[in-house]
Amino acid sequence: MDGTYPAVLWTRTDERPGMQQVTDTYVNFASIIDDQTLQQNIRTSRMPFIYPYLVSMPDAHLGKGAAVGSVIPTLGAIIPAAVGVDIGCGMIAVRTQFAAADIAGRKRRPLRESIERAIPLSAGKKNPSISATAAPRIELLQQEAEDAGFDPGNYLRDWSLQLGSLGSGNHFIEISLDEKDGVWLFLHSGSRGVGNKIAQRHIAVAQDWCHRQGIELPDLDLAYLTEGTPPFDRYIAELLWAQRFALLNREEMMDRVVSAFTRWAGEPVIEQERINCHHNYTHKERHAGKEVWLSRKGAIDASRGVPGLIPGSMGTASYVVTGKGNAAALNSAPHGAGREYSRNAARRTFTRDQLRAAMAGIEYRDTDAFLDEIPAAYKDIDTVMRDARDLVEVRHVLRQIVNVKGN
């Protein structure tokens, strides 16, 4: 692996919309992609166990080892950093029976503040105690950890108190309206501190394992574990547990959002639909005739008929979709808008007045803390969705009316 790469085989044309085969082991669906991300994807795709090829999604951008917005199928090995450090991160949405007319005239700030009181926000935050709704979920997770042969408390002592907490960065809770003014509850979060610590631990284990095996890597964060070894088995067991934590964490938070909305609206929410999907995860799938470990690092399952959620950035549209089962994309679709500016660059480039203008008409906490989440720091979600037109069918387009985030 000398750092040189094969030439582009063919590029996107009007006759070949959406897909670009960059090399024999790398297919790209992004019309907006910088050279650093392109080169990172090529490096990852040249790992010897990639099969049949790596796919970058329309929202692809630079990440740790492997780019965010990557679909990485592997045979007999797995790259912990290619799953990501927020194991099981994803989205959940509930379609309610309410319409915009049902809540017209109600002040939205009390709803935002009620949600902020019900759900711990920001990095490291946790619940003061285990709630009645969280208790059975925690009991289930404790049993599953015991069955998997590990104690999550060794990673984070108070892990159970973070079930039902949001985190920071691009994690959010939103109240939105669809194209027919139907009310949706929508949120984005993952496995919190315990998942992060599990990921960091196994990234380090993989790096040590590759070093002891004398394996030369093009990037230290592409260190991998080989199937059939104890470190691989331990990682998979704890990874699957963290994915389960993330899913239940979203369920717990959504239950609290439903309760807060019920109190605010003065009428119980009747759930018409609930969708809960990961976009940072690994599991076994069959592609090109073989069983592979498919790591979606910033991508959702878009198998035919599978419901999914693709959020925009703060202040922009989000999408409820159904997968088309595009085999060339390994039955995957983007997970969001994808960053164009790093957090530091966004803070240097944009102003709070620009953020206020972007959030016009949306109830949110007006603070400098969210400047790095300004929509202009992300790719245009409309472009991302045009790039994804062969991957998903859009069922609903959502526009925010309330936005909740952690610092």
* Residue 338, CA distances (Å) to 6, 13, 154, 171 in order: 26, 23, 33, 13
63: left (phi over 0), alpha (psi -120 to 50) or beta: beta
3-state secondary structure 319-342: EEEEECCCHHHCCEEECCCCECCC
pLDDT at 2: 31
- With 80 as the cut, is the pLDDT of residue 15 above it? no
Six-digit token string for 366: 């007006």
**Which of 3.90.1860.10, 3.40.1160.10, 3.40.640.10, 3.40.720.10 would CATH assign to domain 20-405?**
3.90.1860.10
- With 80 as the cut, is the pLDDT of residue 86 above it? yes
Q: What crossing angle do the helices spanning 109-118 and 230-265 adopt, rounded to 10°? A: 140
- Write down the mean pLDDT value for the chain: 94
* 279 classed as catalytic: no
pLDDT at 5: 31
Q: Tell me the C-alpha distance between 263 and 301, whole Å.
A: 34
In which residue are the tokens 């085969």 written? Answer: 21
Q: Are 17 and 390 in contact (CB under 8 A)?
A: yes
pLDDT at 1: 28
pLDDT at 40: 96
Q: Are 223 and 81 in contact (CB under 8 A)?
A: yes
Band (pLDDT 50/70/90 cuts) for residue 12 is very low
| Peptide bond just before 334 cis, omega within 30 deg | no
* Residue 106, CA distances (Å) to 103, 261, 363 in order: 6, 12, 12
Task: Give mean pLDDT, residues 23-36.
Answer: 94
CA 243 to chain centre: 12
Six-digit token string for 198: 């599990």
- Name the percent of the chain lying above pLDDT 70: 96
pLDDT at 338: 87
Residue pLDDT, tens place only, 137-146: 999 999 999 9
Task: Give mean pLDDT, residues 392-406.
Answer: 97
Q: Tell me the C-alpha distance between 376 and 29, whole Å.
A: 21
pLDDT at 280: 97
Residue pLDDT, tens place only, 194-249: 999 999 999 999 999 999 999 999 999 999 999 999 999 999 999 999 999 999 99
Task: Give mean pLDDT, residues 127-143.
Answer: 97
Predicted TM-score (pTM) of this structure: 0.94
* First-residue to last-residue Cα distance in the chain: 41
pLDDT at 17: 52
* Residue 379, CA distances (Å) to 37, 69, 91, 102, 168 in order: 14, 12, 19, 34, 20
Six-digit token string for 119: 């759900």
Band (pLDDT 50/70/90 cuts) for residue 9 is very low
Q: Are 241 and 145 in contact (CB under 8 A)?
A: yes
Residue pLDDT, tens place only, 286-313: 999 999 999 999 999 999 999 999 999 8
From the list 61, 171, 202, 335, the catalytic residue is 335
- With 50 as the cut, is the pLDDT of residue 97 above it? yes
- Give the residues across from 402 on adjacent strands: 175, 363
In which residue are the tokens 């790992």 written? Answer: 47
- With 90 as the cut, is the pLDDT of residue 183 above it? yes
Q: Are 407 and 122 in contact (CB under 8 A)?
A: yes
Task: Give mean pLDDT, residues 323-347.
Answer: 95
Q: Tell me the C-alpha distance between 155 and 134, whole Å.
A: 20
3-class secondary-structure state, position 48: coil
- With 90 as the cut, is the pLDDT of residue 386 above it? yes
pLDDT at 235: 98
> Within 10 A of 39 (CB to CB), how many other CB atoms are there?
14
Residue pLDDT, tens place only, 234-260: 999 999 999 999 999 999 999 999 999
Residue 344 burial by CB count (10 A; 0-12/13-18/19+): exposed, middle or buried?
A: exposed
Under 8 Å CB-to-CB from 396, ≥6 apart: which residues?
95, 178, 179, 182, 184, 319, 320
Can you point out the beta strands (E) in 202-272?
225-226
- With 60 as the cut, is the pLDDT of residue 11 above it? no
pLDDT at 10: 33
Does the CA dihedral 217-220-30-341 come out positive or negative? negative
Residue pLDDT, tens place only, 342-380: 999 999 999 999 999 999 999 999 999 999 999 999 999
Q: Tell me the C-alpha distance between 287 and 52, whole Å.
A: 8
